[in-house]
Amino acid sequence: MSDVLVKALAGVGLAAMAVAASAYLRLGLAREITITVVRALVQLAAVGAAIALIFEFELLAFAFVAVMAGVAAVTAGGRMHGVPQARTRALAAIALPALTVTGLLLAVGAFDTTPRAAVPTAGILIGGAMMAATLSGRRMLEGLVDDAAEIEARLCLGDDARTALAPIVRRALRTGMLPLIDQTRSVGLVALPGTFVGLILGGASAEQAAATQLVVLLALLAVELGAGALITGLIQRALIEPGERVARF
């Protein structure tokens, strides 16, 4: 039996255990977990085929990265119900910091300028930006409801709309950054991150794996802060109406 098949069967077996546990505990997640597993299998098979094609035709890497950014924008934007042009705003917030930092890392030689190195790097940073944009954007929208009285009080006291919304924006940004801050703070102590594990399994030395993982984590700090700042700024612009009124989505 091939190594790939063994890994696939092990994963499916564990997923089946999760489905069974969900059914036993009556969580109502059995169907959702099953659909998620099937989607993951199909998507990873498709991505594997696409990556193999990219390695043969390098210019396809640009299209693949564009698709990743587009899917990330659709996913993050879909979580921001009521925000005008939410997916367009999410695309700007995700793509701008993620692709800028990817370009800088390739330009300084931190990673090879080949699809084998550039595409995974872009993917990791786009994924981080998507998470930060989603968490920050959702927290800001929740803050509009939870802290409506505070916003109204600030407006009544003479603050302009941007100033009245500033505490909500700061809280949203902190929420978006907390998962990565915790991950970076505890890296190697609580869990070994994916980049490190992948490089070790691929035959890299521990020193190379650690150095690469450090670069990725520090790059993610910049990217996720940029994505969070951009999405909250773009949502803020959508909120402020003529007369310094704050819209409610």
Give the model confidence (pLDDT) of 86-99 as tens digits: 999 999 999 999 99
C-alpha span between 64 and 122 (Å, rounded): 10
Domain count, the chain: 2
Given 15, 35, 56, the domain boundary residue is 56
Beta carbons within 8 Å of 98's beta carbon, 6+ residues apart: 69, 122, 125, 126, 128, 129, 223, 227
**CA-to-CA separations, 101 to 93, 108, 154, 175, in angstroms, rounded:** 13, 11, 37, 22
Residue 155 has a pLDDT of 82
pLDDT, mean of residues 66-76: 95
pLDDT of 67 higher than 90: yes
If pLDDT is split at 50, 70 and 90, which confidence band does 100 have?
A: very high
Query: Are 45 and 139 in a shared domain?
Result: no
Q: Where a domain ends, among 40, 56, 72?
A: 56
The answer to whether residue 219 scores a pLDDT higher than 90 is yes
Domain that residue 17 falls in? 1-56
Within this chain, do residues 161 and 222 fall inside the same structural domain, yes or no?
A: yes
Alpha-carbon span 108 to 104, nearest angstrom: 6
Q: What tens digit of pLDDT does each residue of 144-174 get?
A: 888 888 888 888 888 888 888 889 999 999 9
Q: What pLDDT was estimated at residue 21?
A: 92
Is the pLDDT reported for residue 191 higher than 70? no
* Pair 196, 228 in one domain: yes
Distance CA 3, CA 1 (A): 7
pLDDT for 117 equals 87
Q: Report yes or no: 8 and 16 within 8 Å, Cβ to Cβ.
A: no
In this model, does residue 245 exceed pLDDT 80?
no
Instruction: Compute CA distances 169 → 92, 139, 142, 147, whole Å.
Output: 18, 9, 11, 11
Q: Please tell me which residue, 100 or 242, carries the higher pLDDT value.
A: 100
